[in-house]
């Protein structure tokens, strides 16, 4: 079953998308017949056993990989190459060690129009914007530090800032908190939710942490083992802002349980 | 041992090791040449002169040594600079494009395998004797490590970094200038240390095979006159220049790519 609602108004629309990797002479079906629609401003999470093609899904949505069959539509247009103006954050922060944290965050503005054209002229204005963003994730005054002078959690916050500075419509989050310790991770969930509630970008979060998925997302998609299929769609009807306290409430725990059960079936 | 003396000792170690080596060398020469031991061993000056004798010759022939040193130095430096420029351009091309890579890499390997001493006679036919073949030989011998290193730096960009830039809509040129080149810089500067010593080898080979000036020529002509101390003086001069240029490259490396030495800066 894959019956996710795919309304015409969906910002991101995947229609029967499959992807086959070819390594050597061997073909691997990484993703099978995925159909899902993401509304504008919706926060979805994709969970599933490891190696189920979660990250593949992300690359398909952003056009970094072309699908083997099926179609990907974004903003009513068929995706044929990398789509522009997407914010991305990966598990490792991929900050550039030769740039200060501020200059790292400014990177998208040097590339994305119309900022690129104005970059030299508005440099100070942009730097202030970067500093404000840094302050909003609790890194005020760290702009002049180099990334390698920051802790893992601080690097990941900077990474989120970089993904957000150009105010992208779509955010792709590929296990951005995966490498962090539990406390830092839970703290960053809060920051992530705050940023999303302020800006209401459309977000796709890939994670293997079910609590993280339920905490952050409006809709959680569960994928099967490879070849990945959508086996379950779960709307999360918990009011925002959610807090760490929320994660201990029975309703939250029930949802996590339900998701876990479904994933366990995949491992059986 | 306190931290202070340990640091002093660490700085002094290269000098102590060098001095130790020279003293042993001197002692061996002196002891072996004691007349009473002549039946057991002797090291004639023509085979291995004593270090003090070499230094004496250095002082004696200071003018000519300095002149020929500077000759070798500028041909080496010029060849080296051309190698940096050429190596950077070709390295970027090879690292950025798989097609250029597959096309040129085998050729580069083949070219690098040729003993450079073999091309000097050809160069002499083309451009004559003198500074030009020395510059060209210094260039071709120091070119290769620079190309390989720059290409490696480019080719090892993290895929995630590339994805971040591509999803922002960056062009290939932007990926190259924003990530590729800064990332290749530490690789470039690391290769310079190797390349500069190779450049010296190149220019000296050229001067030895077909030169009329320079340290290589000085050594060759001194050797022909059985003037071993002067030959050794030339060797010392090359070694000193090599170390100085290496130190210069290492200094530039540290200044230009501070971030690559991050471990030393974090306190």
Give residue B191's pLDDT: 92
User: Inter-chain contact A98–B259, Cβ cutoff 8 Å?
Assistant: yes
Distances (CA, A) of A56 to A133, A143, B136: 30, 33, 51
Q: What is the mean pLDDT of chain A?
A: 85
Alpha-carbon span A38 to B182, nearest angstrom: 38
Instruction: Return mean pLDDT, chain B.
Output: 89
Quickly state the pLDDT bin for B263 (edges 50, 70, 90): low
> How many alpha carbons lie under 13 Å from residue B193 in its C-beta half-sphere?
13
pLDDT the model gives residue B199: 94
Enumerate the residues of chain B whose CB falls inside 8 A of the CB of residue A88.
163-164, 167
Query: Cβ–Cβ contacts within 10 Å for residue B19, how many?
Result: 12
* DSSP state for residue A120 in the 8-state scheme: T
* Residue where the block lists tokens 């003086």: B233
Residue B267 belongs to a domain: no
How many structural domains are present in chain B?
A: 2
By residue range, what is the domain housing residue B18? Answer: 1-43
Q: Which of A99, A92, A158, A107 is nearest to B185 (CA)?
A: A99
B71 in the same domain as B199: yes
Q: Which of A90, A95, A104, A170 to mutate to test the interface with B (most CBs of B within 10 A)?
A: A90
**Bond prior to B84 in cis (omega within 30° of 0):** no
Nearest to B145 by CA among B237, B249, B251: B249
Q: What is the pLDDT of residues A61-86, one digit of tens each?
A: 888 888 888 888 888 888 888 887 78
- Is residue B266 scored above 50 in pLDDT? no
Domain termination site, one of B9, B25, B43: B43
* pTM over cut 0.80: no
Residues B87 and B4 in one domain: no
Instruction: Please indicate, yes or no, whether residues B7 and B61 belong to a single structural domain of this protein.
Output: no
Kindly state whether B90 is in contact with chain A, defined as any CB-CB distance less than 8 angstroms.
Answer: no
A129 token code pair = 């914007």
Asked if the model's pLDDT at residue A97 lies above 50, the reply is: yes
Within-domain flag for B62: yes
Least confident residue range of A10-14, A230-234, A264-268, B253-257: A264-268
B161 to chain A, any CB pair closer than 8 A? The answer is yes
Alpha helices by DSSP H, listed for chain A, are 54-61, 101-111, 115-118, 123-136, 152-164, 182-199, 210-216, 250-267
Please provide the DSSP assignment of A186-217 as one string. Answer: HHHHHHHHHHHHHH--EEEEE-S-HHHHHHH-
Quick: pLDDT tens for B110-161: 988 988 888 888 988 998 888 899 999 999 999 999 999 999 888 888 888 8
Chain A interface mutation, best of B153, B156, B163, highest count of A Cβ atoms under 10 Å: B163
Q: Give how far Cα B148 sits from Cα of A42, A94, B84, B95, Å.
A: 47, 24, 12, 9
User: Beta partners for A72?
Assistant: A14
Contacts of A86 in chain B (CB under 8 A): 167-168
Residue ranges of the domains in chain A? Answer: 41-64+77-267
Instruction: Write out pLDDT tens, residues A204-237.
Output: 999 988 999 999 999 999 988 877 788 888 898 8
Q: What pLDDT digit, counting tens, does each position of B202-218 carry?
A: 999 999 987 788 999 99
Class of the domain covering A41-64+77-267? alpha beta
Which member of B163, B178, B183 has the closest CB to residue A107? B178
Mean per-residue pLDDT, A153-166: 88
- Specify if B265 maps to a domain: no
Of B160, B167, B266, the CB nearest to A149: B266
* A75/chain B closest Cα distance in angstroms: 15
Pairwise pLDDT comparison (B266 vs B62), residue with the higher score: B62
């Amino acid at each position: 079953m894959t019956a996710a609602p795919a309304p015409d108004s969906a910002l991101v629309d995947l229609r029967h998308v499959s992807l086959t990797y070819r390594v050597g002479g061997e073909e691997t079906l990484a993703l099978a017949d995925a159909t899902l629609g993401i509304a504008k401003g919706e926060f979805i999470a994709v969970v599933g056993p490891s190696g189920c093609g979660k990250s593949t899904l992300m690359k398909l949505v952003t056009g970094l990989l072309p699908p083997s069959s099926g179609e990907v539509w974004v903003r009513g247009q068929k995706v044929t190459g990398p789509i522009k103006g997407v914010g991305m954050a990966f598990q490792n922060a991929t900050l550039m060690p030769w740039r200060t944290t501020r200059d790292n965050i400014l990177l998208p503005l040097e590339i994305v129009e119309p900022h690129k054209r104005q970059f030299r002229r508005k440099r100070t204005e942009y730097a202030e914007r970067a500093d404000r963003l840094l302050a909003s994730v609790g890194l005020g005054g760290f702009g002049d530090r180099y990334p390698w002078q920051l802790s893992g959690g601080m690097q990941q916050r900077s990474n989120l800032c970089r993904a957000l500075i150009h105010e992208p419509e779509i955010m792709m989050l590929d296990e951005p908190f995966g490498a962090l310790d539990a406390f830092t991770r839970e703290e960053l969930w809060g920051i992530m939710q705050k940023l999303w509630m302020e800006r209401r970008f459309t977000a796709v979060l890939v994670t293997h942490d079910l609590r993280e998925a339920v905490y952050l997302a409006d809709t959680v998609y569960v994928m099967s083992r490879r070849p990945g299929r959508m086996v379950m769609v779960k709307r999360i009807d918990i009011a925002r802002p959610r807090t760490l306290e929320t994660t201990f409430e029975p309703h939250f725990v029930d949802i996590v349980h339900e998701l876990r059960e479904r994933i366990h079936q995949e491992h059986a | 041992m306190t931290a202070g003396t340990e640091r002093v000792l660490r700085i002094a170690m290269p000098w102590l090791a060098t001095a130790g080596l020279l003293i042993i060398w001197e002692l061996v020469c002196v002891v072996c040449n004691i007349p009473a031991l002549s039946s057991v061993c002797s090291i004639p000056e023509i085979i291995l002169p004593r270090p003090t004798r070499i230094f004496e010759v250095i002082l004696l022939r200071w003018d000519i040594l300095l002149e020929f040193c500077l000759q070798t130095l500028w041909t080496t430096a010029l060849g080296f600079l051309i190698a940096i420029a050429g190596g950077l351009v070709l390295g970027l091309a090879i690292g950025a494009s798989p097609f250029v890579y597959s096309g040129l890499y085998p050729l580069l390997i083949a070219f690098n395998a040729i003993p450079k001493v073999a091309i000097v006679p050809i160069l002499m036919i083309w451009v004559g004797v003198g500074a030009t073949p020395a510059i060209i030989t210094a260039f071709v011998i120091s070119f290769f490590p620079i190309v390989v290193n720059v290409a490696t730096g480019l080719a090892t960009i993290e895929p995630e970094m590339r994805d971040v830039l591509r999803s922002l809509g960056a062009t290939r040129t932007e990926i190259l200038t924003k990530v590729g080149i800064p990332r290749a810089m530490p690789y470039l500067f690391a290769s310079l240390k190797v390349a500069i010593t190779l450049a010296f080898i190149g220019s000296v080979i050229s001067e030895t095979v077909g030169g009329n000036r320079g340290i290589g020529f000085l050594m060759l002509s001194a050797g022909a006159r059985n003037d071993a101390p002067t030959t050794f003086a030339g060797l010392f001069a090359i070694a000193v220049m090599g170390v100085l240029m290496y130190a210069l490259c290492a200094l530039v490396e540290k200044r230009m790519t501070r971030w690559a030495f991050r471990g030393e800066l974090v306190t």
